């Protein structure tokens, strides 16, 4: 571990501080944590000489095209000058290790990760030798291979936040505030997929109100309409209000109803339609206040809505994958209170790493529960007993490999099979699974689909 003594820092790992969404690099040689502990005990502010670390840094003309990094990895070429940082809530300061790299070192490491995880990614295509080919990846994938935006299909996942930004742009440009109710409902449906049965507009001394009604309203539609209404009145048109008169009551029973086994398939379909996710945070109850403050801060950045909260548990609506990135970058808070985050979205097999050097994951919540296992045939259940990969894992493997072969064809290797196994199996199971596939006649991706796990009766 390097000790901070000067305001110019070589590449390496340093002890830093995380405070309300921001990383700081101390430049004092004093015991910072003792100073913070004293401030907490005395109920006082704490001040520290530190450098504010920026995830997005401007580069000089003629250097690398983008000077962007993702915490906890930072570019040493563009460090700011030290300043006095005031911590109003010293109890909310968390220790964290960060890594400083030069822009070139960062680019080289990033290229390795992109080549490993995103080869031929639908988002940006295959890398070339130019630094500019990394441009789309700088603010999406970390140096430990985490990318919440990764997509493999021909169409990128829908994002409610992106659509909301598009709607806001057109609101001002095309005079949405002056449109009648029917035209405005058509525009909302086009951009946001929010459909209503009818609407009326009322003008009074306080401004204009669009009243919306829906015969088939859902809790998710109610929450997203609230988000739309807040954005209209706060960002685009002061004095313009949107009211949903057929609201669903947002309470514990309604929220938990979305996640019932018999309802989850329909919930996933609706989440996919709008481009949102439901996240469940479970954590040490001693962190209730800190986690609440953290989520409130996150809500300001990412349009997160807290649907239900209780001691040690919080259920939220995530309106975009930016939320996953912010969770990942704020891992010091999550680690401090042993936070586990489960995400329900439209995908069944994707796992999201949320932390730096911390063995916790944001992962898809659907697993093989007892009820689902009982619905499998006795033949399949018997077949699973002596296999390394169970029915669900093979189903995910076939789905992934099949989709990739449809796009790129088979190159007579196990390229996509190995990618899937490395991503979703522990290292100790990887070799065993690969040997099992070989024993069934799977020596390339197309042979895996044709020859392997026939007892599972997968198409």
What per-residue confidence (pLDDT) applies to 7?
52
- Tokens (6 digits) for 4: 């901070």
What per-residue confidence (pLDDT) applies to 359?
33
What per-residue confidence (pLDDT) applies to 151?
64
Containing 289, the helix (H) or strand (E) segment is: helix 288-302
Nearest 5°: phi and psi at 74? -130, 155
Count other C-beta atoms under 10 Å from residue 197's C-beta: 12
What per-residue confidence (pLDDT) applies to 32?
82
* Low-confidence residues in the chain, pLDDT < 70: 1-8, 57-67, 119-126, 128-132, 150-156, 346-377, 407, 459
What per-residue confidence (pLDDT) applies to 1?
38
In this structure, the strands spanning 56-57 and 305-310 are: unpaired
What per-residue confidence (pLDDT) applies to 61?
47
Under 8 Å between Cβ of 445 and 405 = yes
Strand partners, 13: 99
Count other C-beta atoms under 10 Å from residue 164's C-beta: 21
Confidence (pTM): 0.69
């Amino acid at each position: 571990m390097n000790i901070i003594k000067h305001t110019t820092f070589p590449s390496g790992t340093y002890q830093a501080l995380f405070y309300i969404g921001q990383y700081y690099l101390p430049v004092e040689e004093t015991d910072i944590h003792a100073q913070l502990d004293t401030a907490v005990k005395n109920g006082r502010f704490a001040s520290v000489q530190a450098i504010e670390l920026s995830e997005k840094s401007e580069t000089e003309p003629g250097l690398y095209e983008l000077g962007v990094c993702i915490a906890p990895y930072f570019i040493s070429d563009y460090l700011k000058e030290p300043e006095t940082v005031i911590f109003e809530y010293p109890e909310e300061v968390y220790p964290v290790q960060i890594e400083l790299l030069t822009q070139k070192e960062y680019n080289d490491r990033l290229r390795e990760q992109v080549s490993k995880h995103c080869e031929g990614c639908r988002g940006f295509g295959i890398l070339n030798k130019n630094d500019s080919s990394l441009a789309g990846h700088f603010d999406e994938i970390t140096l430990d291979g985490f990318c919440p935006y990764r997509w493999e299909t021909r169409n990128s996942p829908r994002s409610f936040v992106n659509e909301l930004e598009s709607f806001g742009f057109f609101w001002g440009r095309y005079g949405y505030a002056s449109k009648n109710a029917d035209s405005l409902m058509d525009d909302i449906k086009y951009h946001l997929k929010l459909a209503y049965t009818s609407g009326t507009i009322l003008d009074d001394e306080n401004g204009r109100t669009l009243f919306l009604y829906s015969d088939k309203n859902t809790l998710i539609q109610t929450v997203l309409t609230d988000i739309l209404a807040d954005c209209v009145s706060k960002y685009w048109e002061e004095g313009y209000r949107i009211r949903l008169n057929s609201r669903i009551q947002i309470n514990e029973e309604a929220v938990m109803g979305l996640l019932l086994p018999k309802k989850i398939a329909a919930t996933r379909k609706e989440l996919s339609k709008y481009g949102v996710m439901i996240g469940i945070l479970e954590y040490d109850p001693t962190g209730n206040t800190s986690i609440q403050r953290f989520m409130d801060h996150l809500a300001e950045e990412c349009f997160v809505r807290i649907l239900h909260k209780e001691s040690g548990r919080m259920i939220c609506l995530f309106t975009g994958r930016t939320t996953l990135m912010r969770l990942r970058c704020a891992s010091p808070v999550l680690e401090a209170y042993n936070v586990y985050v489960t995400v329900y979205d439209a995908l069944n097999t994707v796992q999201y790493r949320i932390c730096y050097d911390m063995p916790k994951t944001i992962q898809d919540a659907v697993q093989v529960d007892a009820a689902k296992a009982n619905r499998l045939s006795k033949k399949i259940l018997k077949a699973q007993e002596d296999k390394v990969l169970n029915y669900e894992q093979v189903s995910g493997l076939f789905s992934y490999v099949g989709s990739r072969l449809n796009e790129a064809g088979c190159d007579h290797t196990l390229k996509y099979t190995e990618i899937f196994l490395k991503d979703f199996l522990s290292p100790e199971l990887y070799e065993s699974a690969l040997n099992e596939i070989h024993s069934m006649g799977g020596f390339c991706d197309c042979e895996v689909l044709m020859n392997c796990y026939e007892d599972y009766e997968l198409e």
